[in-house]
Amino acid sequence: MTFLKRVSEYVGDAVNAAKYIGQGMGVVFDHMGRRPVAVQYPFEKLIPSERFRGRIHFEFDKCIACEICVRVCPIDLPVVDWAFNPELKKKELYSYSIDFGVCIFCANCVEFCPTNCLSVTEDYELAAYDRHDLNYHQAAMGRLPSKVTEDPMVTPLREFAYLPKGVIDPHELPAGSQRAGRRPEEILAEMRAAKAAKEKEAKPAAAE
């Protein structure tokens, strides 16, 4: 009986193994008919979406050391070093820094800065060997951001949101192919046109 039980277990295992190999090969054969969609980074890079929040850019000359960015930051992250200048009766900014190893890129500081000296960029390549190197001071934050579309060393590829309907591979797209949705500027233009039309309609009514 024990022998027969072992044989039946062995046969069951062999059948299961054959089934799993068959399933695996099914996936392989399915993918053999598809085009590769891998992005050959760093020679190819995807274009970040319009509202992508990357490394924060800082303009030292515009900062008035009000520290609103610190108050709206969920983790009180920006370090604003300033002293009051009694002659000018103004705060004088000495240094400004944000530790991008801790920042959650929520962009609250950017939204609330009263002088617009902060802005989000497309920069996402912030990898460093030492986490302390991610603590950017004003000079590092003031560095101009790079753009995937303007880098001559890189082939920019359209991200999923920019691809025409039904397309998932950004390689070798035919020239002039349009994205599925409307661009933000197109939506804005439509909204402005609708508002202008509404105002135009309201004006004669007011005149009557």
Residue in 45, 48, 55, 77 binding ligand SF4, rule: CB under 6 A: 77
- Binding mask 27-66 vs ligand SF4 (x if CB under 6 A, - otherwise)? ------------------------------------xxxx
**CA distance linking residue 148 with residue 145, whole number of Å:** 10
Q: How far is the CB of 74 from ligand SF4 (least distance, A)?
A: 6
| CB closer to ligand SF4, 64 vs 154 | 64
DSSP structure string for 117-143: -EEE-S------SSGGGGEEEHHHHTS
Give the strand pairing for 79-85 and 118-120: unpaired
Residue in 45, 73, 97, 141 binding ligand SF4, rule: CB under 6 A: 73
DSSP structure string for 156-169: EE--GGGSPTT---
Cα four-point dihedral sign 61, 132, 123, 78 = negative
**CA distance linking residue 142 with residue 128, whole number of Å:** 18
Residue in 46, 47, 79, 108 binding ligand SF4, rule: CB under 6 A: 108
Please report, as ranges, the residues that interact with ligand SF4 according to CB under 6 A. Answer: 63-69, 73-75, 77-78, 80, 98, 103-109, 113-115, 117-118
Binding residue ranges for [4Fe-4S] cluster: 63, 66, 69, 73, 103, 106, 109, 113
